[in-house]
Amino acid sequence: MVPMPHVLGFAFDPSATQVVLIQKNRPAWQQGKLNGVGGKIEEGETPLQAMCREFEEETGLRLDNWQHFATLIGSGLEVFCFETRTEHLHLLHSCTDEEVSVYPLPDLPEHVHHNLRYLIPLALDVQLRRPVTLSYNL
């Protein structure tokens, strides 16, 4: 079975004390959880192109300086994880029925998707030899 490719991104303020998260309404297994912004990679897109498109579609903010820090493989998915820093978090707004907001770090809300508790620190790890590949099961 060929894994379905997705992207997942974390946009931080320059000091990495805030992160953009989205309140998921779908798919059902993510409903009610906070997650990074992302989605499916469309045919003909690179993961980086998909990350730029998805973030702009969800937040109205175009960011092009994403860095690939990890790939999650498992449960029929292949998720390319990206991070970026920007001074423009104040410009984002929700463009869909899934609300995007800026959250303070390191104190994440209780209702974050469980993998954010290790993916966000991994994204901020400057010692990391990027990208890393992680086996993953839902």
- Residue 66, H or E segment: none
pLDDT reading at 1 higher than 80: no
pLDDT of 76 reads 87
The confidence score (pLDDT) of residue 17 equals 98
- Say how far apart CA 69 and CA 105 lie, in whole Å: 19
- Cis amide leading into 47 (omega within 30): no
User: Tens digits of per-residue pLDDT, 56-113?
Assistant: 999 999 999 999 999 999 988 899 999 999 999 999 999 999 999 999 999 999 999 9
Q: Which residue range forms the structural domain that includes residue 22?
A: 4-135
Structural domain total, the chain: 1
**Which CATH number fits the domain that encloses residue 108?**
3.90.79.10
Average pLDDT, the chain: 94
Whether the model clears a pTM of 0.75, i.e. scores above it, the answer is yes
